Amino acid sequence: MNEERYILFDQYLEGELAVEEKNDFEKQLTEDAQFASEFETFKSVQLQLQNKFGFEEEREAFKENLNQIAEEYFNKKPKVIGLKPWYFAAAASVAVLFGLFFFNYNQYPAFADYNHPEQASFAERGSEDGPLKNAEKEFNAKRYSLAIPHFEAVLAKGKTPEIQFYYGVSLLEESHYLKAEAVFDELKTGNSVYKEKATWYLALSKLKQRDYEGCKKILQGISEDYEDYDEVQLLLDELD
């Protein structure tokens, strides 16, 4: 993540963006999965800081120290035209904040280590150019943002646990957490063959958001009869 994004994320959270800039920011959140993931990381670190420092005065004093460090550092560097000097100090401050807390995140397992979506295979039930075929093609090519509207077109005509599951996975890949979890929750309470898989992906959703306690709680509810229970146990061990 670069310094300019730190500043942009902070400005968005503080309500400092103009209306057009805010709309562009939110549009990028829906279209750029990496951007959305970095934003979630930024928010998580902010929450860690709030929990760690407690009182506003202490947080401000800490940030002031970081600004001084940043100023000393950037004063040794050539000036870059186009950005105000205080932007660099702010960027460096956030970079230091991430440096202080990043090791905590590295102690936990990563979403990518456990996210291994199965290939979809249901196009034979649709026409060669229909939404089901297109959903399968885009999903298997990992173009999840393109697969989502095709899944929605299929589901609008009737729900099946299989299509719901792959739709939920696509939503999670694009960091649409609330929608993905709603899909997985519905499957989790059902009796289809996707019940346990949906529960697993519900846990992965929490993992991707770095909600480690939430992830662990969901994992503990998965039956040992689940076909991939070895991964469940491995993830539980890493979270302990």
Quote the percentage of the chain above a pLDDT of 90. 47
Decide which of 89, 107, 125 is a domain's last residue. 107
Length of the chain as a residue count:
240
Decide which of 88, 107, 126 is a domain's last residue. 107
Residue 202: predicted pLDDT: 97
Number of domains the chain contains: 2
* Judgement on whether residues 179 and 96 belong to the same structural domain of the protein: no
Burial class (CB in 10 A: 0-12, 13-18, 19+), 59: middle
Residues 204/115, Cβ–Cβ less than 8 Å: yes
Residue 83: predicted pLDDT: 44
* Judgement on whether residues 136 and 235 belong to the same structural domain of the protein: yes
pLDDT tier for residue 166 given thresholds of 50, 70 and 90: very high
Decide which of 76, 107, 138 is a domain's last residue. 107
* Judgement on whether residues 123 and 35 belong to the same structural domain of the protein: no
List, for residues 191-231, the tens digit of each pLDDT value. Answer: 999 999 999 999 999 999 889 999 999 999 999 999 999 99
* Judgement on whether residues 149 and 61 belong to the same structural domain of the protein: no
* Judgement on whether residues 93 and 201 belong to the same structural domain of the protein: no
Residue 206 CA to residue 211 CA, distance in Å, equals: 5
Record the pTM: 0.60
Residue numbers of the domain that contains 76: 3-107
* Judgement on whether residues 66 and 179 belong to the same structural domain of the protein: no
